[in-house]
Structure 1
């Protein structure tokens, strides 16, 4: 059981490393504004995410099955809680791979946060550029075309004082 768990975590580390590489490629695509590259990266991510879900489900099933065999009824158990229950050699190896997995997950989260910020900044830039390109009339009150000019005293009209007495 422990060796199977180690293999699953090793596979999860490998998938996360690949996702991290793709996250960097995604950052480059966003910086360049290359939507085709961005789309290609996202298409490569989809099967990896699916694989990660399967590995996680297998990991959870394996741990649940092992707990049932040992008579341990506990939900939400962590690897750290299980480590003392395994032989020392396997426990150390499992702990090392778990640490690597956590490091890869943190790295991926940080890269995804950076990519999200880059996308938000790009969107802001596009919106500012679009706003700058739209014609705007900031001085409607002085243009002579505003609703205030609908009164009876338009320029060119004679006022009461201009009439003959």
Structure 2
């Protein structure tokens, strides 16, 4: 059985690798959004889903490691963070664990920025689609015109005119 320090380093490496793969997928997702390739987006979403499942498993493993370490050292388990745990590791491993933690935080930051960019691109695309639909929707230019029956043209009536004229 590996020492806990080695297990922590290994789990940090694995979690970082999965986050890097999720980041790469987010960059490919941006390409799919920009080009409008739905098949590419679907492929990336499936890949992300599998990576997120993998990340959940790794996170559970990390939590069990933390719990085991905390119990071994007789520490308080409430609000425990890696920052609070680092001083309890041997000095040689503290630096390596800190470096791994910083790598993970860096890739998480990049992933957050990429996801925000993708979110903005999606919102812009949705606005464009909405604007395009509005442009194709017939608008009444003469809202003051009344049909001889007394109804306004834009009053809804079942069987009335819809967005798509089926008689055309």
- What TM-score range do you get, normalising by the shorter chain? 0.7 to 0.9
Match of 1:114 in 2: 117
Q: TM-score, normalised by structure 1?
A: 0.85
Establish whether residue 103 from structure 1 lines up as the match of residue 106 from structure 2. yes
Q: TM-score, normalised by structure 2?
A: 0.84
1:15 to 10, 15, 18: 18
Match of 2:74 in 1: 71
Cα distance between partner residues in 2 of 1:15 and 1:29 = 21
Cα distance between partner residues in 2 of 1:76 and 1:43 = 34
Q: Report matched runs for 1:9-88 at 5 Å.
A: 9-88=12-91
Structure 2 gaps of 5+ residues are 153-168
1:69 CA drift (Å) = 1.4
Q: Report matched runs for 1:143-162 at 5 Å.
A: 143-145=145-147, 147=150
Cα distance between partner residues in 1 of 2:21 and 2:79 = 27
Runs of 4+ in 1 over 2 A off after TM superposition: 143-149
Larger helix fraction of residues: 1
1:148 CA drift (Å) = 7.2
1:139 CA drift (Å) = 1.6
Name the count of aligned residue pairs.
Answer: 148
Q: Which has the larger radius of gyration?
A: 1
Q: Which structure carries more relative contact order (alpha carbon 8 Å, separation 6+)? A: 1
Report the RMSD for the aligned CA atoms in angstroms. Answer: 1.4
Cα distance between partner residues in 1 of 2:108 and 2:47 = 18
Are the structure 2 counterparts of residues 135 and 85 from structure 1 closer, same or farther at C-alpha, using a change threshold of 3 Å?
A: same
Cα distance between partner residues in 2 of 1:11 and 1:87 = 22
Are the structure 2 counterparts of residues 128 and 92 from structure 1 closer, same or farther at C-alpha, using a change threshold of 3 Å?
A: same
